Structure 1
């Protein structure tokens, strides 16, 4: 099949959706499909996540892919998308995230080319974004399918959207064997979190929870991998708590596997997630994980008392600190939960998820 993926940016996109797209497009290419990837990035810039050598890139350079798109830019993208995709003549288009599947759906009205929209967020995202949700709903009439990452996420959408949705989980990579044992070489145990520095991810609560525990656990550090708009506010919190020597915000990394392998505990303080890809990946490295029980996505990845801990969100900082203390104070508990965590998501290996995508694309393409 000739498959065209679309996403807003792969140069500035550093999250889970971009990582999944790189994995799936490469997997389909390895299976012999003709795979292209279209973005709005300027031509010639390197993507943050490496792509399979066989994936052909089409970078349109329309608008600034780092910014939210205004009405004029969106209209220009719709026109450029239609012209480019009609020239490419793919069997199917797979557009990742609403920033690409909304314009793709409108661009290809009447073209006969099926469009699959791949949604990677939950309805909570749209609560303060009514216009975005209206456009999502409107575009859904022109999409063949909309993928979501779990049945629980599908059920959280209105019933008329559920009927068009298919569940395709995110792939979870296996731990790299050559990194095993790395955490035992670290001089200081590390609490790790990975994610965009954004109010949704709520790293501020994690910093404050760690601040409560820091005097007692003087040999532990906190590392926050990610970048985003909250960096100045988070750095201010760290300074106010006098923890510049204990809390580190190194930014983005191209070797996240090494961070997972070196850490001793993973914490995901998010208010909502669609799946919790970073959490599942951390668990594949034998890391027990802690998150909030009312957080969609997180509460599907973590099984309380089995591969980690889920905590109530009444007083978020205190509740999180108590759960962290439980595991930071017991290497045996971390080891036992970590062993179970490593096996928790083996059914989501990348080759299986690539097969699910292949089957879905075959179903929607014209016969």
Structure 2
């Protein structure tokens, strides 16, 4: 069975980029013929590993209406020549050329939503929301990441929705959240794209600054890159925390960072299925985030696997929960253990089974 997967670009180290590469590899191993399509330039390289048997079509991108027509034709041509029967599109709401190409080529179209539906309210105008939801009506099936998310879409779309979480593997080395490092210090870890609108690491720096004097044996480590880096470095200097807050570049060896940390923090305004949070929890790290943040509140169970701060916009509320967690080693151990157990529900085999079933039932009504 031939299937195509689309995402606009695969060179960066984001969650959607990781997931589409993982799904392409998994489907390839399960006997699918997989074609990956993006608007990357010829010669681009993926940040995440991709099996050599997966065909990657880099179709290029130029701004303007004329290039939209070219891309529509190019994508439709790839789908026809490959003999694809289904196209799984990741984050298609910003580019209607994918919908047009799918219809021109006659393939079944599956939308893989990578954000909570609250994104449409937080970032889109009312008109843009209507257009995006109308476009989703062109899809045969829609994959969302949590059951809670279905209620955020028009009722007319819900019958074609399937809930599929991201795959979360078991950890080889678990964190020890109650035991200090050899130097007697503890690490509060955060990771992700340094983005001021969604990820909001400035909230975390402000929260840590508010409690740093109270928890002198703790340091903050933020792993990632992005447009907020200069702002964050300035904020760190303003609070005189250069010796205790470190910004580090994105790494493929993030698992080592999880196993070395003692607590995980995620200050996001919203998420889809936050990979870094799920992976940290699978490593036995308890986590702290905002109760009002979609994707965060679905993974962190307050009082069981972590701590949820009230609201969504106040770093001081985040500081309150961080301080509670940083000051209670036995609770970190207890909640970290529950966090690891909770992530077993998202084992890769279970999630890839769901993807395979979704594709097969969309095409033939056949379940694995």
- The 8 Å contact of residues 101 and 117 in structure 1, kept in 2 or not, is answered as no
Indicate yes or no: 2:147 matched with 1:151.
yes
**SS of corresponding position for 2:307:** strand
**What is aligned with 2:241?**
243
- The 8 Å contact of residues 196 and 226 in structure 1, kept in 2 or not, is answered as yes
Q: For the structure 1 residues 112 and 287, does the alpha-carbon distance in structure 2 shift closer, same or farther, using more than 3 Å as the test?
A: same
Displacement of 1:134 in angstroms is 4.0
| Count of matched residue positions in the alignment of Structure 1 and Structure 2 | 360
Q: How does 1:1-367 map to 2 (within 5 A)?
A: 1-12=1-12, 14-63=13-62, 70-98=64-92, 102-127=96-121, 128-130=123-125, 132-177=128-173, 185=181, 187=183, 188-198=185-195, 199-313=197-311, 316-365=314-363
* CA–CA distance in structure 1, aligned partners of residues 4 and 118 of structure 2: 29
Q: For the structure 1 residues 110 and 71, does the alpha-carbon distance in structure 2 shift closer, same or farther, using more than 3 Å as the test?
A: closer
Instruction: Name stretches of at least 5 consecutive residues in structure 2 with no aligned partner.
Output: none
- The 8 Å contact of residues 191 and 224 in structure 2, kept in 1 or not, is answered as yes
* CA–CA distance in structure 1, aligned partners of residues 136 and 93 of structure 2: 13
Displacement of 1:152 in angstroms is 0.6
* CA–CA distance in structure 2, aligned partners of residues 70 and 290 of structure 1: 43
Instruction: Name stretches of at least 5 consecutive residues in structure 1 with no aligned partner.
Output: 64-68
Please report the TM-score for the alignment, with normalisation by the length of structure 2. Answer: 0.91
* CA–CA distance in structure 1, aligned partners of residues 94 and 71 of structure 2: 9
* CA–CA distance in structure 2, aligned partners of residues 311 and 61 of structure 1: 43
* CA–CA distance in structure 2, aligned partners of residues 335 and 49 of structure 1: 32
Displacement of 1:356 in angstroms is 0.6
- The 8 Å contact of residues 87 and 108 in structure 2, kept in 1 or not, is answered as yes
Displacement of 1:138 in angstroms is 3.3
* CA–CA distance in structure 1, aligned partners of residues 288 and 318 of structure 2: 8
* CA–CA distance in structure 1, aligned partners of residues 280 and 5 of structure 2: 27
* CA–CA distance in structure 2, aligned partners of residues 229 and 166 of structure 1: 34
Q: Deviations for 1:77-121, whole angstroms, at most 9, x for unmatched residues?
A: 222211221111112111111257732211122432111111111
**SS of corresponding position for 2:342:** coil
- The 8 Å contact of residues 87 and 102 in structure 2, kept in 1 or not, is answered as no
Please report the TM-score for the alignment, with normalisation by the length of structure 1. Answer: 0.91
Q: For the structure 1 residues 193 and 94, does the alpha-carbon distance in structure 2 shift closer, same or farther, using more than 3 Å as the test?
A: same
**SS of corresponding position for 2:220:** strand
Q: For the structure 1 residues 102 and 355, does the alpha-carbon distance in structure 2 shift closer, same or farther, using more than 3 Å as the test?
A: farther
**What is aligned with 1:66?**
none
* CA–CA distance in structure 2, aligned partners of residues 218 and 276 of structure 1: 29
Q: For the structure 1 residues 205 and 186, does the alpha-carbon distance in structure 2 shift closer, same or farther, using more than 3 Å as the test?
A: farther
* CA–CA distance in structure 2, aligned partners of residues 72 and 286 of structure 1: 51
- The 8 Å contact of residues 62 and 76 in structure 1, kept in 2 or not, is answered as no
* CA–CA distance in structure 1, aligned partners of residues 130 and 83 of structure 2: 29
Q: Deviations for 1:333-352, whole angstroms, at most 9, x for unmatched residues?
A: 11111111111110211111
Q: For the structure 1 residues 151 and 94, does the alpha-carbon distance in structure 2 shift closer, same or farther, using more than 3 Å as the test?
A: same
Displacement of 1:184 in angstroms is 5.7
- The 8 Å contact of residues 293 and 312 in structure 2, kept in 1 or not, is answered as no
Q: Relative to structure 2, which stretch is displaced further, 33-42 or 159-168?
A: 159-168
Displacement of 1:247 in angstroms is 1.1
Displacement of 1:142 in angstroms is 2.3
